[in-house]
Amino acid sequence: MTAYRIQARVGGKYLETKLDAPTDKEALDKFVQLASEGKIEEEDTNFYKSNYTSITLEEIDVESAKSRDVKEASTPGA
């Protein structure tokens, strides 16, 4: 497993979480799932225009991630 930090800015909102996943695609899929379920806190931001959209994904050090709130992604049907 690899630990990831994912940030998104969309529609004037900022979302950020850390999670474990086998691949970056599974990490992004889990992020989308958590966001659509309302499990990632959305912060209003006035820094970017409401039509600005960006997503960043970065691998983070696994040992340092263990000491933080890291969620684990799983492959559906596995």
State the chain's mean pLDDT as an integer.
Answer: 84
User: Which pLDDT score, from 0 to 100, does residue 28 have?
Assistant: 96
What is the per-residue pLDDT for 6? 97
Mean pLDDT of 11-17: 92
Model confidence over 15-34: pLDDT tens digits?
999 999 999 999 999 999 99
Where do the domains of the chain lie? 2-61
Which is nearest to 17 in space by CA: 2, 4, 33, 1?
4
